[in-house]
Amino acid sequence: MNMINEYLDIAPEVQQALAEGKPVVALESTIISHGMPYPKNVETALLVEQTIRDNGAVPATIAVLGGRLKAGLSRDEIEYLGKTGRKVAKASRRDLPVLVARGADGATTVTTTMIIAHMAGINIFATGGIGGVHRGAETTMDISADLEELAQTPVMVVCAGAKSILDLGLTLEYLETKGVPVIGYGTDELPAFYTRRSGFGVDYRADSPEELASFFSAQRKLGYKGGMLVTNPIPEQYAMPKDVIDAAIEQALREAQEQGVHGKETTPFLLARVVELTGGESLESNIQLVLNNARLAARTAAAILA
């Protein structure tokens, strides 16, 4: 449902698609400003948008620019986010009111992409991996706002599972407590971002975009306020050996602790360090899994409207 908001700008192409009942897929912008180096970030963002178009939907990359909530970005705006990089604030739910009031810029996380997508009337979103419960959260209480947003905002999120830098078991427990269905696409096991398997089971399995669409449509008709998490394993040829990625993650976690990295800086630090430790191999895996999720999200968005 399109919630008219005085701070929301919907790009003309996106607005037209929504008005005509055509499929639209939301995309986040943190992956552009904080997830990859320039110019690879811009190239990837444009390639993901094109992949969504090639699969029958309209892309709506989401960000906060000059205090405006943007559902759909121009090529120049994507270039700006890519070049400005980490100077752009990483915007979670708590940050939106201040960024809007100050007329500032923000790159949207899973949380804020869901919020703005829902405002605009977009109900499906493709990303890389969601945030979750961090290792040691029983002491630090470091739990991503993504999980709370999934519990209260009715958007389907298509991802490659939770990042394996997290405590995957506790992340699934938290989602269960919040009543968020975790669906494995073509798998009974939670994928772990760079790898296809984690050892943890999902709630249900779906084997086609049409089946995913039927789950989500039923959830909406039941009046649930929350979203649905679809976990789509990275394609086999791009998956990384589990022992290699686990060793890189363990080293990155040790370094983060030694350097006192915490809060919203944790995930960008760990991912960047893992890229360095894997000789760039994890960056290529990251790109391929996002493209894979974009394809599935576009096909599912079309099936929801069919």
Q: Which two three-digit tokens encode residue 275? A: 């890229």
Q: What are the Cα distances from residue 234, in Å, to 1, 58, 91, 240?
A: 31, 23, 26, 9
Whether 67 contacts 101, CB under 8 Å: yes
Question: How far is Cα 114 from Cα 186, in angstroms, rounded to an integer?
Answer: 24
Task: Enter the pTM of the model.
Answer: 0.93
> What single-letter amino acid sits at 53?
R
pLDDT band at 275 (very low <50, low <70, confident <90, very high): confident
CATH assignment, 8-305: 3.40.1790.10
- Please state the φ and ψ torsions of residue 231, each to the nearest 5 degrees: -110, 120
From the list 70, 79, 90, 163, the catalytic residue is 163
Taking the domains of the chain in order of start, what are their residue ranges? 8-305
pLDDT of residue 2 exceeding 60, the answer is no
Catalytic, 250? Answer: no
Upper half-sphere CA count for residue 204 (Cβ side, 13 Å): 15
Q: What is residue 4's predicted lDDT score, i.e. its pLDDT? A: 61
From the list 28, 79, 149, 281, the catalytic residue is 28
pLDDT > 70 fraction of the chain, expressed in percent and rounded: 98
* Alpha-carbon torsion angle 146, 136, 88, 123, nearest 10: -10
Catalytic, 163? Answer: yes
Q: What is residue 72's predicted lDDT score, i.e. its pLDDT? A: 98
